[in-house]
Amino acid sequence: MNSYLLKNASLYRNQKFENTDILIIDGKIKEIAPDIQTDICTYDLKGKMVSHNFIDIHTHLREPGFEHKETIATGSLSALYGGYGTIVAMANTFPCMDDIETIQDFQKRVEKDAYVNVYTYSAITKDLKGQELVDMAHIVEEDIVLGFSDDGKGVQSDEMMELAMQLASNIDSIIVAHCEDESELHGGSIHDGKYAKEHHLIGINSASEYQQVARDLGIVKIYKNRYHVCHISTKETVELLRQAKEDGLPVSGEVSPHHLILTEENIKDCHPNYKMNPPLRSIEDHAALIRGLNDHTIKVIATDHAPHAREEKERPIQDAPFGIIGIQHAFPLLYTYLVKKNLVSLETILDALTIGPAHVLRLKGTVDIGDVANLCIVDLDKEFEIKETDIQSKSINTPFIGVRCQGQIVANIMNGKLVEVGGF
């Protein structure tokens, strides 16, 4: 059962590629070596890339409460098709993931419906209101909880965030911070830049992000707590994180595929599928994100997969909700727009999808003999068009429909079981 041989793989492990065979027996990696001979089921990969399957530490599954947007089943199926083996759900559900009862109910739903390994964050504050901390000491004991995040809202109170970080330090957990100073927002919908001015839209300035990052990093200096910045979008945030890491603080940060690929200048027709939070920024910000990824200031790519129902995203851009889906096509888009254009190496992209997020949340992100097989297989030469009919998510809110990509996920090996998702 779950025994097979992957022949002629281009395996990425230990930060390099090797041409090899991979023998999997009873779901575990038994041997990695050239020219393995066996009479069990064999897949000739003919040089296709194999990697540890990807880890997304920022996914909105919407369940419970917003199943019209996404469910655990549809969101995790999108992840499976995207080459992901582990995802971490955000806490902004209804009811909010802010107590043990709700979290345990979520775990039961995951055990019933999930196609990949699913964890969650607990909220930092009850109902994401920023007024009262959750019972962090007891919630962290739940195996499915990997940290604390009020993603969707920044914690506005300096005192509340300091108390949360102090408690996180005491229990050796992590604060995963959505950094957004609401006093700087003014009802904006896109970046406060050229496109907003040309189209008479209220802009969202960069200070709304980096001011909270600066505040939080000041607190980290006191408590030395584990701290992670969500969806970095500004050059100032990159520099703040770079300096904090140089100072030896236990901090990390993530960037989303859409911020690595698009800028405000890519927005078309004020379409709400270009509206996300934080917004698409300037060319200068984009360049800083690329530099931050290349010099390993940013070691995580996280999708911020944010489904919304069609009718919600059909409103004018200023009225539509923030967010786009992204988990199913993250890798091919990154490969097409960054690797193929020689902006970022394939090795850097793969590290940011595997060992980077694994290190932040203390998960497994390497390929080793004796492990349960969690691998994805990618045909880097295969081109395809992103079509609405192929999307596994319940929602279709993405600006990338109709885009031609290279780098098709053809199979995902989840806990030893090989699932064909793109066809060999």
- Is 147 buried (19+), middle (13-18) or exposed (0-12) by CB count in 10 A? buried
Is residue 58 a known part of a binding site?
yes
Is residue 374 a known part of a binding site?
no
Is residue 225 a known part of a binding site?
no
- Find out whether 218 and 263 touch, Cβ atoms under 8 Å: no
Write b or e for each residue in 163-181: b if 16 or more Cβ atoms lie within 10 A of its Cβ, otherwise e: bbbebbbeeebbbbbbbbb
Is residue 13 a known part of a binding site?
no
Is residue 92 a known part of a binding site?
yes
Is residue 350 a known part of a binding site?
no
Residue with tokens 């079981």: 417
Active site residue 304: yes
- Find out whether 47 and 17 touch, Cβ atoms under 8 Å: no
- Is 341 buried (19+), middle (13-18) or exposed (0-12) by CB count in 10 A? exposed
- Is 277 buried (19+), middle (13-18) or exposed (0-12) by CB count in 10 A? buried
- Find out whether 302 and 313 touch, Cβ atoms under 8 Å: no
Is residue 106 a known part of a binding site?
no
Is residue 60 a known part of a binding site?
yes
Residue with tokens 């393995």: 36
Q: How far apart are CA 339 and CA 343, in angstroms?
A: 6
Write down the H helix ranges in 82-206.
100-113, 136-139, 158-170, 194-198
DSSP 18-46: EEEEEEEETTEEEEEETT---SS-EEE-T
Is residue 61 a known part of a binding site?
yes
- Find out whether 137 and 106 touch, Cβ atoms under 8 Å: no
Is residue 178 a known part of a binding site?
yes
Catalytic residue among 304, 319, 371, 381: 304
Q: How many residues does this entry show for the chain?
A: 424
Q: How far apart are CA 270 and CA 161, in angstroms?
A: 35
- Find out whether 422 and 382 touch, Cβ atoms under 8 Å: yes
Is residue 231 a known part of a binding site?
yes
Is residue 249 a known part of a binding site?
no
How far is CA 208 from each of CA 162, 165, 169, 203, 277, rounded to the nearest angstrom?
A: 19, 20, 26, 11, 11
Is residue 322 a known part of a binding site?
yes
Sequence-distant (6+) residues with CB within 8 A of 107 are 142, 144
Provide the annotated binding site for substrate.
60-62, 92, 277, 308, 322-323
Q: Which residues are annotated as a binding site for Zn(2+)?
A: 58, 60, 151, 178, 231, 304
Catalytic residues, which ones? Answer: 304
Binding residues: 58, 60-62, 92, 151, 178, 231, 277, 304, 308, 322-323
